Structures are given as structure tokens and as C-alpha cells.
Amino acid sequence: MKSKYSVVLLACTFMSGLAIAGSTHAEDGYPSRQIRLIVPSLPGGNEDFVARKVATILSQRLGQPIVVENNTGADGAIGTTMIAQAKPDGYTIGIGTPGTLSTNKLLQPDLPYDPKTDFEAITMAIHTPEILVINPSLPVKTVAELISYAKAHPGELKVGNGGLGSSQFVASMLFQKLTGTKMVEVAYKSGAAPVPDLVAGRIQVFMTGPLALLPFIKSGQLRALGVGADERLTELPDVPTLKEAGVDGFDFSSWYGFVAPKGTPKDIVDKLNQNIVDILTKDPVKTDLNKIDDIIAADTPDHFHQMIEEEFKIDSAVLAKAPSEN
């Protein structure tokens, strides 16, 4: 029986037309036509937010349309495979995440791309801290009380994630590992997708970035217990860090960056890097990201490549005893 990733490989090979066989020399006057920016997740999430903010200004700077495409499915493998198999000419770039560039490979050996060899790193974009939230019907108000409740009710609490290998999955696994708790993992199709079920009480616990959670926390529909960051968030000054709450070792945040197919000419990668870094570190994008407590981490391609290598090491340790999807 074919795995879902075998199906992904066949589908994406067909869609890409085996485009990777083309020339990898940069054309004069790049870009001279439309660029597509692939986001391997549903609209509305943090990676989609960052992609669209950057694409709007990058299009103005380069003088060509940049079309954001949300190609979802198979825990991000469909869209990411499309990036990997695109012609390496600078006209297809995409968003990479810890899930698509690290944990998917660790959890799924038959993944149809290799994060270490199939991409050119353009730049890291942002780090986004994970917020631990619960449905207010749960009779706990602090991280310590949640840990005690989870230990008294092992396997009863349902915790959402954005799919096997997603940053939310890794964050949840790390929290359970550090606290000695056991919850039931419930997988969804994207990082923001668990929120409606959390608000409705169909799941009780979730960890993700501020963009998807802040409106519901401020309205009282969700209760924030802790933040996986070194400092408290500007938007949630009364919510302690997980370290302050007694959970030592939660050294994890989600991140998003820009990648291109392997073999994309260096001058094109450098041009994209210089422009995207400048866009991320200046207004209006800088202010928009600061409003949701995203940490801008734009840097060189080499630094982003090193970050991906480090992510493999971190995720390997956290996922050593990862459960299957529910």
C-alpha cells in the first residue's frame, strides 16, 4: 500500500512537470515575470501572515507580481514538495517551518524531499513564542494547577496540534516531557485550526503563537497560563513565562523562513535575501509583527541553514518517544 507521502510525491511530480531539470543560471534582469510564493498551510496562520506581508512589499520592490499560494496537506509535505521540485530559477520560493524542514523527516522516513539537501535557505523570518492556553471550563488557573490536574487525570486531557510534526506538536510533547504529564494529541490541518474546538471545549489545551490566540485570550474565551519565551509578552504582561511558572528547560519557539529550490543561483538568493531582510526589519512590517509579539530574526542564508541543522538536533531529542496521531 502506498503511503500518503508516496501519493504526495507522484502528485507533486506531475504538477511540477519535472521542472528541476532546467538551467540554474540566473537570467539577466531578474525578475522578469511573476513569482509564486508557496505557503504549505491554510490561510490565516502565522506563516501565511508573514508571507503575505512580505509579498506585498517585495512585489513593489521587484516590479513583478508575487502570488501567494496555500498548498496544504500531508502535514505540509504537499506544498513543500512543490517548492523542492520547482525549477530553481527564482520564480518559485516558499515558506519553511520546523515541521516541514525538520520534524516531518524525523517522523516520516518516506518523505518525498530531504530538508537538508533539497533547498536553498534565503532567510529566517521570525521566531514566534508558544502560548499555553486552556478552555476556561477547565478548573485550573496556573501552570502548576494544570500539571497537577493532568497528573491526576492521565490521558484525559485533549491537546490540539497543527499536525504530526508541527511546531504545536513539538511544543506539546516537550511540555509533557518536562512536566511528566500525558495528554491525548489531536491533530488538525494547520496551526490555527484547533482554536475553534478549543473555544468550544472539544479539546482543553493548546500551544501556539500569539496571532491565532490573542483575540480569544483578550475576550476571555481562552485562558493563557504561560508563555514559552525568555520574557513576558508585551500583549500579555500578566502571563508568566513557563520558566517563571516552574517549567525549566522549555527552550522552544516556532519559526518561519523563506526557502528556494536547491540550485537556485546564488545571486538570486542574495537578491531575495537582501530585500526580504530589509522588509522584515523596517516599517510597516516590523510594526505589524511587533504587535503580535513575533520576534524578527531575519539574517543571512548561512545562518538560516545552521538554524535548520540545530532544529534537527532539538526535535530529535524531543520526539524520541513521540506518540502517533490520534
154 and 91 housed in the same domain:
no
Q: What is the pLDDT of residue 73?
A: 84
Residue 23 within any structural domain of the chain: yes
* Residues 209 and 154 reside in one and the same domain: yes
Considering only CA atoms, which of 115, 123, 126, 68 is closest in space to residue 269? 123
Lowest-pLDDT range, 21-25, 35-39, 164-168, 311-315?
21-25
Residues 16 and 76 in one domain: yes
Q: Could you read off the pLDDT of 47-99 as tens digits, one per residue?
A: 999 999 999 999 999 999 999 999 988 888 999 999 999 999 999 999 999 88
Instruction: Answer yes or no: do 115 and 185 share one domain.
Output: no
Indicate whether 119 and 140 sit together in one domain: no
Longest alpha-carbon distance in the chain: 65
Confirm whether 248 is domain-assigned.
Answer: no
- Of 207, 244, 232, 233, give the one whose Cα is nearest residue 222: 207
Domain C-terminal end among 194, 228, 262? 228
The verdict on residue 72 lying in a domain is: yes
Residues 48 and 117 in one domain: yes
DSSP secondary structure code for residue 152 in this structure: H
Q: Are residues 179 and 220 in the same domain?
A: yes
Looking at residue 316, its pLDDT comes to: 84
Average pLDDT over residues 154-176: 91
Q: Is residue 242 part of a domain?
A: no
Q: What percent of the chain has pLDDT over 90?
A: 67
Please indicate, yes or no, whether residues 112 and 22 belong to a single structural domain of this protein.
yes
Question: Quick check: 9 pLDDT over 50?
Answer: no
Higher pLDDT among residues 311 and 206, named by residue: 206
In a domain, 234, yes or no: no
Q: Is residue 100 part of a domain?
A: yes
Close Cβ partners of 116 (under 8 Å, ≥ 6 residues apart)? 308, 309, 312
Domain count, the chain: 2
Average pLDDT in the 104-115 region? 89
Q: pTM above 0.85?
A: no
H/E segment holding residue 119:
strand 119-128
Domain-embedded: residue 233: no
* Lowest mean pLDDT across 47-56, 128-137, 242-251: 242-251
Residues 124, 141 share a domain: no
Q: Residue 175 maps to which CATH number?
A: 3.40.190.10
Q: How many CA atoms lie within 13 A of 241 on its CB side?
A: 16
Per-residue pLDDT tens digits for 11-36: 444 444 444 333 445 556 899 999 99
Query: In which residue are the cell numbers 535548520 written?
Result: 308
Residue 313, domain CATH = 3.40.190.150
Q: How many CA atoms lie within 13 A of 166 on its CB side?
A: 33
Residues 151 and 99 in one domain: no
Domain hosting residue 75, numbered range: 4-128+254-321
